[in-house]
Structure 1
Amino acid sequence: MGGGGGVGLEVELSRGAVAAILRMAEGLRPVLQVADSPRLAARAAAQRYRILLSDSVHSHEGVLAVSMNHLISDGSLRRGAVVRVLDYICTIVQGRRVIVVIQLEILRTDCTLIGDPTIYEATPTQPFCVSYSGGLGNHESCFLPGSQEVFGNLSCFSDQGMLDSSFGPRAEHTVCNLQYGGSCGSVLPLNTVDAKVQQLSLDDHHQNQRWTIKARVTVKTDLRHYQNARGTGKVFSFDLLDAKGGEIRVTCFNLQVDRYFDLIEVDKVYLISRGIVKPAHKKYYPLNSDYEIYADDSTFIEVCSDDDCSIPKQQYAFQQISEIENMENGSLVDLLGVVTLVSPSATITRKDGTGTQKRTLHLKDMSGRSVEITLRGKFCDGEGQVLQRHYDSGSSSVLAVKGGRISDFSSRFVVTISSTQLKVNPDFPDAERLRQWYLTEGKTAACISLSQEMSSFTRNHVPKTIAQIKDESLGQSGKPDVITVRATISHVNANNFCYPACTLEFNGKQCNRKVTKSNEGAWHCDRCVLDVPKCEYRYLLMCQLQDHTGVTYATAFQEAGTKIIGYSAEELFNLREQDEAKWEEIMLQVCRQEYLFKLNITEENLYGETRAKCNIVGVEKLDALATNHHLLEEMETARALV
């Protein structure tokens, strides 16, 4: 016989317990019997078993937690077994209540069916009682039936909610501090019967509180495999949004991944019960909650049969690109901007030797700033291809970025992570307003890029002529000068317009150092001290710039070179190998076009001589309309000075 008081030869079940559990009574430890052989549940996310539980008067179907599947495989839990249910929750599946058994104790395995139980279906309107006898002793507890389900708000997971909101009395659920396996977190029980709010101190500790949240999944990350000192594992997470705008993230590891990864779908509404709730790491947490949930063996997730229209599908609070300048490296940011440049997708190699796709684009908004967005993995072939088609056709795209991560390696840029969301041309009022601004004035508006090749330079810049670079000794004051110059490219060094670059990651960004080809055919990087099977060709374009005051030389790197030429360095390199005549025509056309250049000017010493070094960090082609607009602005400025 099992422990915990045991059950005599004449077993007494806890009469009325099935009805009490289905009315969501709490704190019971009833003795029940398995009235039918356990069987696998249909369409379950993991291998779950259904069992029929009886209190000798009524029976009802229950679901066994996956952590107890071994009791089925070893034959301990079978038809006729008498068990004490130590922990359970009652949830709703397709409009029906289901008992989820989280923990039980087997008392006997060899009993015949006790009593003449019937399937419990009726909803009582009078108080009902649960009778305890046998190993539990003789006593009786009465409960009033509830009238409705009440779901709390995810905003209650905030510090204020934890202090001010709770549910009671004891037969209902309460705010508490929970401790599972030595890790402590705070949870707010949300699914109650006739819930009432009362004050409860955070110092109160309760081990087995019930809570359920009803919310829509807005983000689901990819499945990620990892390795640490404890071994290998897998993880994914998803973000929830409820009817009142509350948000929280749920993270699943290993066994919970097997149970819920296929079940969770973006935009569907779910009921989630149980889990470990811990304070969130706000630096890497873009949601409006102070907490996050970790699924464990007690967690139960079920799809709602109906789509609750009161729960929105997404919400955004966009930041201006200019705000990135003052944000901490690694922070998450939501941006809305116009895509002004899209580069072709390229393959880069991680340090572990695996490859992934990377695509860069530039985003511009009304703040007078632009930033480079690096798309990785699935975004390169999804939204990245859509943006590439729009860019190649000459149309302007508005892109919403939710949950991009700020990176700061020699410059500011934003990278996508597994939980990032991208929306191309979203149906937002702010997006339409931004589009109209760009079409009317934003396309030619001066803009400072936060994603430069250099580590620092003056943010403010003014229009200058080429002659002023020398006359005013620009770049020789101990810090770079950033200016704009309206000029024509009079010559380019076509023979050495690009170089083979390393595709490995270095400090979170592609290395891009020049690589050399070894005898074995691989490419060697002196910085990474590694060989890579292939390189990526990047621009190192030497240009002679000319305006009405003089001539100077400037270097265009990858992004600026792509905008000047209209092709990536990789494409242009391959084109020269395949069709040299067309390649020559492209290079000649570059010299017939007027541009607005943004130059970063520094001082360099060459063979004992000090001179100004110009790098092209921004470029826009000027058509006749833009040139006339620029001249009108100059005339207005001159008129104001008279």
Structure 2
Amino acid sequence: MPTNQLTAGVCSLLNEPQHTEDLLNSTPIVQILSVKKVHSNPNAPNPVDRYRIIVSDGEHFLQSMLATQLNHFVDEGKIQKNTICRLDKFTCNMVQEKRLLIVLEISVLEQCEEKIGSPAGLQIPPGDAAVTPSTANQTPAAHHTAAATGGATASTSNTTTPAARGQGARSGRGPTTFPIEGLSPYQNNWTIRARVTNKSDIRTWSNQRGEGKLFNVTFMDETGEIRGTAFNLAVDALYDKLEEGKVYYVSKAKVNLAKKQFSNVANEYELGLEKNTEIEECRDSSSFPVVRYNFIDLAKLQEMAKDSICDVIAVVKETGDATEFTSKFGRTSTKRELTVVDRSGYSVRLTLWAKNAEKFTNTDSPVVALKGVKVGDFGGRNLSMSSSSTLEINPDIPECHALRGWFDASGNSENFQSHTNSFSGAGGAATFNRSELMSIEEVKAKDLGTSDKTDFFSTRATVMHLKADNIAYPACPTQGCNKKVFDQHDGWRCEKCDRSFEKPEYRYIISMAVSDHTGQAWFQGFNELGETLFQRPANDLVAIRERDEAKFNKLVEDVNGHQFNFTCRAKQDTYNETTRVRYGVQKILPLDYAEEARHLIELLSSPWAQ
């Protein structure tokens, strides 16, 4: 028999349209009858799975959802079927014609072998059902919401309008509020209580369709985050009302599907802020969360996909100068590169932009906490802030104090490892395929690249010689241009951009002879290949050549003799009336000897070896 008694009748009370403050502040004891994982949209910038649960008070049961910050209870096996828990904090909404309990904080009391009582389902009280669109006319977002909440199939009538009413938690003296995690285009008349964790500058644009301006803001509550965007008149009405770090009641905004190409906030939806959007500052915000981090070690960046979003905390070991650059849209801005390290033994290049780059100063190797930074793969794994990212210097959190103590005690004298680059070219064909490795002799024997189409192949070869005469070219520093620039009296001139620059941005152009046990071939590649071979940007190598030619020659010679796995593109090329096949490097991977050993073991166990 369980030692904890369930709070009888609480599910029926939570199913009612209105909730008393005493109920919302109570801590009922319930039993978990079911746990089911609901997979998130894989195209989201930072997809996070959720868990749908069914809670019982012994008399009735209620559909529920764990807030994502509680996922670890299920992942670690603490919450499972028949577990008895105490709900320390929760809210209740109407979603897809069902009452949905959202659990924000929970305590596990004991594991029980059997279900307690014979709990029955609950009907929605009259007048409290949400009106939803027909199944036939549902958008993919509606189907996602239904799947995520365990909601019933929508009404088959196609004459109703998409609307839903949310009933959330009451926060002090403010209005009844709705959790961010529960927002979707199928709720209206909602109010969220959220902290502004990031507010961008006002940005303007001008094109053939006209002129305009916008700003973005990120809201956060106990359940999640959501991005808001205001345009034109809404910018004038709302920009000065919002301040980073403060908590607000926000209502009368549109909930839309998120435009993933412009946002790194982990939410399927975003808010369209309008000139009549209501924003009221919440004065009582002392107990409200400031920033919610999900830190990962720098060592784990290699496991993350390019352009994915993450949170990290690290110590700034080196700080570069702030430099100006021109974007492909002709705008001038500022960037600064830092080298950050952590206890995992890795160092990573971090790029700051605009105001963050201008304001940052390195005072005694500060600890920086970064939220929503993008993972890049240029010259090895790196990190880059965006307009939606946040940066805190020496935050007052346990992770910061622990990192500070480690660095001051021993970390400042350690040697750190950087992530190896494994760049890939455009197109899905640039994939290294171990099972189809070809020797150089096989590539030539099969006449790859001699037909009209481009052929791709994977091979393993050793660098034998690298041409050092024209190893890099002076390129336009405008982002996305990369055209060659020419030294003229008014600076380095780019004909494409029709501009002159004080100095160029050098980019690699690599031509090297490679060899395996069957023969030799010439491979060509560009900046990413050079970054991998030399483990430094072309600007640095050119500066070394101008300063110390002997050191430059030594660096070039040191590349020889190293073996790599390559994915190459074979294509016919005609130059000066001479036709030949050129092999362009699309992907390069240093050998992983542990992986190579596992492959050989598998090979010896295969029918081939019998």
TM-score by length of 2: 0.51
1:359 is displaced (CA, Å) by: 8.5
Structure 1 unmatched runs, 5+: 1-150, 177-183, 198-205, 326-331, 362-371, 390-398, 408-412, 428-441
1:614 corresponds to: 583
Number of residue pairs matched by the alignment? 412
Residue of structure 1 aligned with 2:217, choices 222, 235, 238: 238
CA 258–484 in structure 1, closer or farther in 2 if over 3 Å, else same: same
Letter in 2 for 1:480: D
2:192 corresponds to: 213
CA 400–531 in structure 1, closer or farther in 2 if over 3 Å, else same: same
1:469-488 map, 5 Å: 469-476=443-450, 478-487=453-462
1:356-505 map, 5 Å: 356-357=333-334, 377-378=353-354, 381=357, 402=372, 417-420=386-389, 449=423, 451-452=424-425, 454-455=426-427, 457-459=429-431, 461-462=433-434, 463-476=437-450, 478-487=453-462, 489-505=463-479
Note if 1:633 corresponds to 2:609.
no
CA 354–158 in structure 1, closer or farther in 2 if over 3 Å, else same: farther
2:153 corresponds to: none
1:498-513 map, 5 Å: 498-505=472-479, 510-513=480-483
* Deviation larger for 241-250 or 560-569: 241-250
Structure 2 unmatched runs, 5+: 1-88, 103-124, 133-161, 179-187, 339-347, 400-417
Question: Is 1:595–1:620's contact at 8 Å kept on the other side of the alignment?
Answer: no
CA distance in 1, matches of 2:360, 2:512: 30
2:562 corresponds to: 594
Letter in 2 for 1:534: K
CA offset digits 1:462-488 (Å, max 9, x no partner): 33333232123334462331313131x
Query: In percent, how many aligned pairs have the same letter?
Result: 21
CA 459–562 in structure 1, closer or farther in 2 if over 3 Å, else same: closer
Question: Is 1:152–1:213's contact at 8 Å kept on the other side of the alignment?
Answer: no
Tell me, what secondary structure is at the counterpart of 2:491?
coil
CA offset digits 1:119-142 (Å, max 9, x no partner): xxxxxxxxxxxxxxxxxxxxxxxx
Question: Is 2:449–2:455's contact at 8 Å kept on the other side of the alignment?
Answer: yes
1:567 is displaced (CA, Å) by: 2.4
2:487 corresponds to: 517
CA 356–600 in structure 1, closer or farther in 2 if over 3 Å, else same: farther
1:301 corresponds to: 280
Question: Is 2:476–2:505's contact at 8 Å kept on the other side of the alignment?
Answer: yes
1:458 is displaced (CA, Å) by: 5.0
2:241 corresponds to: 260
CA distance in 2, matches of 1:383, 1:457: 43
Letter in 2 for 1:279: N
Residue of structure 1 aligned with 2:503, choices 510, 524, 534: 534
Question: Is 1:187–1:277's contact at 8 Å kept on the other side of the alignment?
Answer: no
Tell me, what secondary structure is at the counterpart of 1:587?
helix
TM-score by length of 1: 0.49
CA 532–600 in structure 1, closer or farther in 2 if over 3 Å, else same: same
Question: Is 2:258–2:268's contact at 8 Å kept on the other side of the alignment?
Answer: no
Tell me, what secondary structure is at the counterpart of 2:585?
strand
1:541-560 map, 5 Å: 541-560=510-529
1:301-380 map, 5 Å: 301-308=280-287, 313-314=292-293, 334=309, 348-351=325-328, 353-357=330-334, 377-378=353-354
Letter in 1 for 2:353: G
1:302 is displaced (CA, Å) by: 1.7
CA 516–464 in structure 1, closer or farther in 2 if over 3 Å, else same: same
Question: Is 1:256–1:296's contact at 8 Å kept on the other side of the alignment?
Answer: yes
Tell me, what secondary structure is at the counterpart of 1:499?
strand
CA 349–298 in structure 1, closer or farther in 2 if over 3 Å, else same: closer
1:602 is displaced (CA, Å) by: 1.4
CA distance in 1, matches of 2:94, 2:211: 31
Tell me, what secondary structure is at the counterpart of 1:457?
coil
Note if 1:292 corresponds to 2:261.
no
CA 321–295 in structure 1, closer or farther in 2 if over 3 Å, else same: farther
1:19 corresponds to: none
CA 299–632 in structure 1, closer or farther in 2 if over 3 Å, else same: closer
CA 415–579 in structure 1, closer or farther in 2 if over 3 Å, else same: closer
Question: Is 1:502–1:514's contact at 8 Å kept on the other side of the alignment?
Answer: yes
2:256 corresponds to: 279
